[in-house]
């Protein structure tokens, strides 16, 4: 009989959903769509978009660098939470050295980013 109960609930939910949609369409207010409503609005200034609008590559570079460094920081969190367990298991030095290598690459990338002036917007 458990299948009968599941089928009853499924049929009841479908019927109830259809009933609510039908009631909403009959009892709800019918507004005439104003064409102004579908126009874009940005601070009261009419849209003046050109087809040849150029977006600086610096925006994309900043976003990509943020994502890369953010993901690297996210990788450090599980290591920090499980480091005590690896010490108890006798693998503390190996785990510490592997995270040291990871941090070395991370810091090298950070210094390279600063040296190459990747985030300077002249």
Q: What does the pLDDT read at residue 86? A: 87
Q: Which residue has the higher pLDDT, 120 or 86?
A: 86
CA distances from 91 to 2, 67, 81, 95 (A): 51, 31, 15, 6
- Measured CA to CA, the distance from residue 120 to residue 122 in angstroms comes to 6
- Measured CA to CA, the distance from residue 87 to residue 13 in angstroms comes to 53
pLDDT digits (tens, 9 = 90+) for 41-79: 666 666 566 666 677 778 888 888 888 888 888 888 888
Element (H, E) at 72: helix 57-88
Please compute the mean of the pLDDT values over residues 93-120 and round it to a whole number. 87
- Measured CA to CA, the distance from residue 17 to residue 21 in angstroms comes to 6
CA-angle at 43, arms to 30 and 32, nearest 5°: 10
Cβ distance 37 to 90 under 8 Å? no
Q: How many CA atoms lie within 13 A of 5 on its CB side?
A: 2
Determine if the pTM surpasses 0.95. Answer: no
- Measured CA to CA, the distance from residue 64 to residue 46 in angstroms comes to 31
């Amino acid at each position: 009989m458990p299948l009968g109960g599941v089928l009853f609930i499924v049929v009841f939910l479908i019927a109830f959903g259809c009933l609510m949609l039908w009631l909403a369409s009959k009892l709800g207010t019918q507004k005439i769509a104003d064409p102004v409503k579908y126009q874009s609005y940005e601070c009261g200034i009419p849209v003046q978009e050109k087809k040849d609008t150029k977006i600086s590559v610096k925006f994309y570079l900043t976003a990509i660098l943020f994502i890369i460094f953010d993901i690297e920081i996210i990788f450090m969190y599980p290591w920090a939470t499980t480091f005590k367990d690896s010490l108890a298991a006798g693998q503390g030095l190996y785990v510490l050295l592997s995270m040291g290598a990871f941090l070395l690459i991370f810091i090298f990338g950070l210094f390279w980013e600063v040296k190459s002036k990747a985030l300077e917007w002249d």
